[in-house]
Amino acid sequence: MPADAIAPPAAAAPCSTTRRAVPRPDPLDGLNPEQRAAAGFGERGPDGRFDSPPLLIVAGAGTGKTATLAHRVAHLVMQGVDPMRILLLTFSRRAAQEMTRRAERLVSAARPGPVRLPWAGTFHSIGARLLREYADRVGLDASFGILDRGDAADLVDVVRHELGLSSTRQRFPRKDTCLAIYSQRVNSGWPLERVLHEAFPWCSQWRDELSALFRGYVERKQANGVLDYDDLLLWWHAAMSDPSLAAEVGARFDHVLVDEYQDTNALQAQILLAMKPGGRGLAVVGDDAQSIYAFRAADVGNILDFPAKFEPPAQRITLELNYRSVQPVLDAANALIAQAARQHPKTLRASRGGGARPQLVSVVDERAQADWVVDAVLRHREAAVPLKRQAVLFRSSHHSATLEIELARRNVPFVKHGGLKFLEAAHIKDLLSVLRWAENPRNAIAGFRALQLMSGVGPATAQRCLDAIGGAPSRLLEALRGFAAPAAARDEWDGFVAVMAGLLDPSARWPAQLEPVRRWYQPLLERRHDDAAVRAADLDMLQSIAAQFGTRERFLTELALDPPQASGDLAGDPLRDEDYLILSTVHSAKGQEWDAVFVINVNDGNFPNEYATGRAESIDEERRLLYVAVTRARDSLYLLEPQRYHVTQQPRYGDAYVHGARSRFLTDALLERFDRVGPPPEATPAGTGAASAAPKVDVAARIRQMW
């Protein structure tokens, strides 16, 4: 039954002849026909409950995906669905909060009383909640800790060293590479041999050693009572392999809604199918044209094959009305993605008229590219487009190096996206290690770091202390009090014991527990870091974040799963420069939009990346990556292609220039959608023509330029 044919609940009867009933607002008001069909999809069953068969919403770039999903949640609640029985899965906490706020606002406008959606969050956060709730059923301690990526890599390195794989006599993969291999193996479901062959071919010779490393890593995690980021999905998936448990968990939710379904991996897709094998109440939204996270094991096949997973096939509704870009930009995007061999077909059309054609700019080299981009950025600024409404996008972070130099030279402030996160900063990791150890005394990784914060306590002393605790974490406080600390650490040690006593006190309230830890750590911060004042501001932010969570466990879990960006990402002084240009990799730009977008280094070897040219699937993803870059532009789009690149310090020939080949994605059909801007003519060589008549050094001009 079409969404717009679903009758809304009847309004209350008038209470008198002089008063009229006020009709309740329709939560689908304001949606276009495509959005309305998607948000209102479903019908009331014979039992009176609102139900729906499986649904795929193909949401093209800028078509109002978030609004549609929020309106669907609101519509479900207005149809009588218990908010407790709605599961909303996203890929970031921010997205879950935004959709929850929108849905609650829509429902509140239509009916009295507050509305809460308690089961809205990321896959990993929902997985952590369910695992704690069903811990006894799956053989877990409900108080398990969660390792962030940094701590997980450190634990891999410990096992790596114990197995003798860190010897300098052999070039064994480093800890971060090992963890990346492990993560790809877990999330893709591929055998280790396939992971190594397709994603890490230079590590193939270490197959047996890596297998032993990962076995030791898993055993060490289990001994410490901790899970890493990937374990949250792995354990959830393993639990859903039990049909009775999967049916029990699935029965808790009448409707399961999934955002950004094109970014799901094999584990996530299988979890959903286990919980809702028939697809009833399952609705997923995404865009196969924006699937760009294969390096995280995301599988575009999940969204491409979704309809065929059910019998009859899932209903598909496509959103094509774009609210972001002008039509000339969309024409270029449509022509680009039309090259894809396999896709859910869609043709984006603009909701607003006008707009200039995008430009393909050919420049001599990267220096000329940087100069052209800065000139264009400043022209847009003078035309009332703030720097914040402009962005320069690139395939890899190092591509912006020459541009950053030119921006600094010309005093143009900028922010480069993709910097350190909170959990990767040493001072944040220090403070959190104390909290994590108190939360889970079996977490030897946290304890090992926390102990070494104090003067005179090195790895050997820290290990002796951990050995004294042994397998009795309940004796943590007793062991700390009885341990013979080094003389250099005596004062700090007594303070640390007092801090741990406070954290282990069941009556201690959160987030007040954080303040004593902060006071104890402050002198250590000043001793360990020259920029202590800057880092102290990060700790202030950490305390403000902590106040948003009701318990220490919740705070540590959410911070590990979805950490905020650190203030150190800013390149420039935000207090001095309130406006700044955005520099970003395309991956970091997904979900964003700007009035003017410049995509640099659009050449073969960059788009597509040189490492992707061996497999058709990789080429397809690189095309989608360029598509994401193109669809970030609202009004103005520029693709820049340097004709040559400067390659430094070649072993035999020294510095050299190499030719920049045109991207294979810039087909004739696509080029018809662009205006072409060529490089300036080559300068006349010195000593020839009219140039020889001019002074070699124009001193007068230099004197004038001083003023």
Residues of the chain with pLDDT > 70, as a percent, come to 85
The burial of 644, by beta-carbon neighbours within 10 Å (0-12 exposed, 13-18 middle, 19 or more buried), is given as middle
Residue with tokens 């007594």: 494
The model's pLDDT over 375-410, given as tens digits with 9 standing for 90+, comes to 999 999 999 999 999 999 998 877 888 898 889 888
Q: Mean pLDDT over all residues of the chain?
A: 84
**Cis omega (within 30 of 0) on the bond before 486?**
no
Neighbours of 265 (CB within 10 A): 23
pLDDT of residue 101: 86
As a whole number, mean pLDDT of residues 259-283 equals 94
Beta strands in 4-75 (DSSP E): 43-44, 50-51, 55-59
Q: Could you give the dihedral angle defined by the CA atoms of residues 399, 402, 403 and 407, in that order, rounded to the nearest 10 degrees? A: 150
Helix (H) or strand (E) holding 645, with range, is strand 644-650
Greater confidence, 562 or 475?
A: 475
- Of 220, 337, 219, residue with least CA distance to 288: 337
Distance between CA atoms of residues 122 and 120, nearest Å: 7
pLDDT of residue 9: 39
- Of 101, 132, 128, residue with least CA distance to 561: 128
Largest CA distance in the chain: 99
Axis-axis angle for helices 426-439, 514-528 (nearest 10): 140
Which of 282-296, 313-327, 509-523, 678-692 tops mean pLDDT?
313-327
pLDDT of residue 573: 41
Residues 663, 325 contacting (CB under 8 angstroms): no
Neighbours of 33 (CB within 10 A): 11
Distance between CA atoms of residues 242 and 253, nearest Å: 18
pLDDT at position 281 over 50 = yes
pLDDT at position 160 over 90 = no
pLDDT of residue 549: 81
What sections of 505-573 are H helices per DSSP? Answer: 514-528, 532-546, 552-561
Distance between CA atoms of residues 198 and 209, nearest Å: 18
The model's pLDDT over 445-485, given as tens digits with 9 standing for 90+, comes to 888 889 989 988 888 888 888 888 875 667 888 888 888 88
Instruction: State the sign of the Cα–Cα–Cα–Cα dihedral 579, 582, 588, 591.
Output: positive
The model's pLDDT over 163-218, given as tens digits with 9 standing for 90+, comes to 888 765 667 888 888 999 999 999 998 999 999 988 888 888 899 999 999 999 99
3-state SS class at 291: coil
Distance between CA atoms of residues 591 and 593, nearest Å: 7
Distance between CA atoms of residues 586 and 563, nearest Å: 20
Long-range Cβ contact pairs of 44-53 (< 8 A, separation 24 or more):
44/6, 44/79, 48/80, 49/80, 49/81, 49/254, 50/76, 50/79, 50/80, 50/81, 51/254, 51/280, 51/281, 52/255, 52/280, 52/281, 52/283, 53/279, 53/280, 53/310, 53/312, 53/314, 53/315
pLDDT at position 251 over 80 = yes
pLDDT at position 346 over 50 = yes
Beta strands in 551-632 (DSSP E): 570-571, 581-585, 594-599
Q: Both tokens of residue 405?
A: 């130099």
Q: What number of CA atoms fall less than 13 Å from residue 134's CA on the CB side?
A: 20
pLDDT of residue 566: 39
Report the range of poorest mean pLDDT among 122-136, 427-441, 645-659.
645-659
Neighbours of 508 (CB within 10 A): 14
335-371 burial code (b ≥16 CB/10 A, e <16): bbbebbeebbebebebeeeebebbbbbbbbbbebbbb
Q: Both tokens of residue 693?
A: 């008549």
pLDDT at position 114 over 80 = no
- Of 128, 120, 87, 89, residue with least CA distance to 235: 128
pLDDT of residue 537: 75
Greater confidence, 2 or 220?
A: 220
pLDDT at position 243 over 90 = yes
Distance between CA atoms of residues 462 and 452, nearest Å: 6
Q: Which residues contact 661 (CB under 8 A, 6 or more apart)?
A: 603, 604, 605
Instruction: Give phi and psi for 605, each to the nearest 5.
Output: 105, -25
As a whole number, mean pLDDT of residues 400-423 equals 77
607-631 burial code (b ≥16 CB/10 A, e <16): bbbeebeeeeebbbbbbbbbbbbbb
Distance between CA atoms of residues 238 and 189, nearest Å: 12
The burial of 519, by beta-carbon neighbours within 10 Å (0-12 exposed, 13-18 middle, 19 or more buried), is given as exposed
One-letter amino acid at 195 equals V
Distance between CA atoms of residues 304 and 163, nearest Å: 43
Long-range Cβ contact pairs of 549-553 (< 8 A, separation 24 or more):
549/510, 549/511, 550/510, 551/510, 552/435, 552/438, 552/439, 552/503, 552/510, 552/511, 552/513, 553/143, 553/439
Q: Both tokens of residue 468?
A: 């004294």
pLDDT of residue 105: 84
One-letter amino acid at 458 equals G
pLDDT of residue 10: 39
